[in-house]
Amino acid sequence: LTFLGIESSCDDTAAAIVRSDATILASVVAGQVALHESFGGVVPEIAARAHVEKLDLCVEEALAIAGLTLADLDGVAVTAGPGLIGGVMAGVMLAKGIAAGTGLPLVGVNHLAGHALTPRLTDGIGFPYLMLLVSGGHCQFLHVTGPEQFQRLGGTIDDAPGEAFDKVAKLLGLPQPGGPAVQAAARNGNAGRFDLPRPLLDRPGCDLSFSGLKTAVLRVRDGLVAAQGGLHEQDRNDLCAGFQAAVADVLAEKTRRALAASPVPVLAVAGGVAANSTIREALQRVADQAGAAFVAPPLALCTDNAAMIAWAGIEAFRMGRRDDMTLAGRPRWPLDQSAAPMLGAGK
Ligand code: ATP
Ligand code: FE
């Protein structure tokens, strides 16, 4: 099987061609960072407009790179949610147009299922496995037992960890995206200098919280600024190291609990925060201790892309899933309801 995948749920316009033997023939991602930069965040209307303008070009480019035409495909998979609804609708409409024009089967994919199934595309892992999704917008533990079978074991009750990295970078005057900047500063820092909290470790279960940690960094910063009139480079490095260590500790302990609650042979991660080497090392240790393998897909497939959507579409298609012209975009779509029928407008 060869599928076209389309992704437009946030600020990346993406198209990809993927084969059922896990070969990625093309994966095109057009970001929108420059469009939103001056607003300090993604503006939904601007994002939707840019998706409408760029989607066909991305699809054409992906087909050209793969050396294929629409006639060579076996199906079209598209992110049908969750995400910014204008962008999701732009993708769904294009996918419906292609399906109607060619007669190809249409499969609506949950964006989070795309992330969660990526280690099967990149590393060919089998079910069941534990997926820790840690990105700029999401943070959850998923017990994955099938292409459309996800059980949520816990997740953040406030910010996502990537969001916390970005906010901490902003507090300390470091550039965006904050994750790589904080990691670089932390390399020269002393993680033990400041006493930062480890939120929710005193409570049972796998839920996480990151907003208190960010506030703790803010307090330390304000204290230093009040005492010495500003931040020295070493203060910044030490705060970054301390913050990063706290995030790694919390993620590691909650992952240990998730593996203990639902033992599986593989721990997999996805999302931009999985790029962090301190966090990766901490998770690797947890996996080793639990006797599980640790799988982290390459970064380009950990962040938003359409190859994961094409792949999730192939997996769902193999299970018999087909959508029709009633396929509707959903701003919200909890992953543990992935197999629920998707009929009706926006329901
Ligand atoms: P989502 O996919 O949930 O909609 P998103 O598109 O913002 O959200 P990703 O593209 O997966 O998320 O990841 C981006 C996030 O990852 C940013 O918050 C960024 O700061 C963070 N990040 C990237 N590299 C690192 C790193 N080395 N350490 C920590 N965080 C990182
Ligand atoms: Fe994503």
Å from CA of 128 to ligand 2 middle: 22
- Helix, strand or coil, per DSSP, at residue 30: strand
What pLDDT does 337 receive? 60
Q: At what angle do helices 211-228 and 161-171 cross, to 10 degrees?
A: 10
Given a contact cutoff of 8 angstroms between Cβ atoms, the answer to whether 332 and 81 are in contact is yes
Ion ligand 2: residues, CB within 5 A, are 304
The average pLDDT across 302-316 equals 96
Residues paired with 117 in a beta bridge = none
Which of 244, 273, 278 best tests ligand 1's pocket when mutated (most atoms within 8 Å of CB)? Answer: 273
Please tell me the distance from the alpha carbon of residue 243 to that of residue 266, in angstroms, as a whole number: 27
Top mutation candidate among 303, 332, 333 for ligand 1, by most atoms within 8 Å of CB: 303
What's the pTM? 0.91
Average pLDDT over every residue of 298-309: 94
Q: Is pLDDT at 343 greater than 80 in this prediction?
A: no
- Give residue-wise pLDDT tens across range 140-173: 999 999 999 999 999 999 999 999 999 999 999 9
Predicted complex ipTM: 0.97
Contact 199, 208 (CB under 8 A): yes
Task: Say if residue 26's pLDDT is above 70.
Answer: yes
Instruction: Measure the CA–CA gap between 174 and 171, rounded to whole angstroms.
Output: 8
Backbone angles phi, psi at 219, to 5 degrees: -65, -45
- What is the C-alpha separation between 317 and 326, in angstroms, rounded? 17
The SS3 of residue 68 is coil
Closest CA to 59 of 103, 93, 110: 93
